[in-house]
């Protein structure tokens, strides 16, 4: 199972290198960035942190119980075929992602708070830059936030470019398999003489 998750995560990184969305300029430097959605649970202005909740892919919900509150993790967003995401594709222990080549992509350094495997959600804390705190003053727990993050996450604290209140992201439609067509009715066999 761990090998499958590791391979899936490496595929996500490879995809992230191929399909990025140039976006915000931080200072004088233009950086590649992406957008993700989370649901606000709490803001601690004095610590400059926010606790958010995100949806999990089914396979992540199966292994999320191995993490405990306070674990430093790297969250990988499911951006396959998308430009924005609210679903987590993988969670890695931060100490396993020290290689700088693995610090670029649709990733976010987080502190694990809790997970609801049945509800397929994870709660996590991120550090906030001073520039986004004013946007959160009017937000309340349960409010969805649209977050822009640079694809380069060189430290153990999340780099956030912008954060703003948002409508809930659209739910993905469940993929229902299309039933196979009925085989052609068999022709009666000719009665031989």
Instruction: Single out the residue of 107, 114, 71 nearest to residue 89, CA to CA.
Output: 107
**pLDDT for 167-181, tens place per residue?**
998 876 443 334 444
Distances (CA, A) of 125 to 14, 15, 65, 94: 26, 26, 17, 14
**pLDDT for 80-111, tens place per residue?**
988 899 999 999 998 877 666 666 789 899 99
Q: DSSP code of 106?
A: S
- pTM of the shown model: 0.72
Q: DSSP code of 104?
A: B
């Amino acid at each position: 199972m761990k090998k499958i998750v590791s391979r899936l995560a490496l595929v996500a990184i490879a995809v992230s290198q191929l399909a990025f969305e140039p976006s915000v300029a931080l200072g004088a430097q233009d950086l590649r960035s992406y957008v993700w959605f989370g649901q606000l649970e709490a803001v601690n202005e004095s610590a400059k942190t926010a606790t958010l909740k995100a949806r999990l892919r089914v396979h992540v919900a199966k292994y999320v119980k191995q993490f405990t509150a306070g674990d430093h993790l790297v969250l990988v967003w499911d951006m396959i075929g998308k430009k924005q995401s609210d679903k987590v594709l993988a969670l890695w222990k931060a100490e396993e992602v020290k290689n700088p080549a693995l610090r670029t992509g649709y990733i976010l350094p987080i502190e694990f708070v809790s997970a609801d495997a049945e509800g397929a959600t994870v709660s996590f804390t991120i550090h906030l830059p001073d520039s986004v705190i004013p946007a959160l003053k009017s937000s309340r727990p349960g409010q969805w936030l649209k977050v822009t993050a640079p694809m380069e996450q060189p430290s153990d604290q999340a780099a956030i470019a912008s954060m703003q209140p948002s409508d809930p992201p659209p739910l993905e439609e469940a993929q229902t398999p299309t039933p196979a067509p009925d085989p052609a009715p068999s022709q009666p066999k000719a009665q031989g003489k």
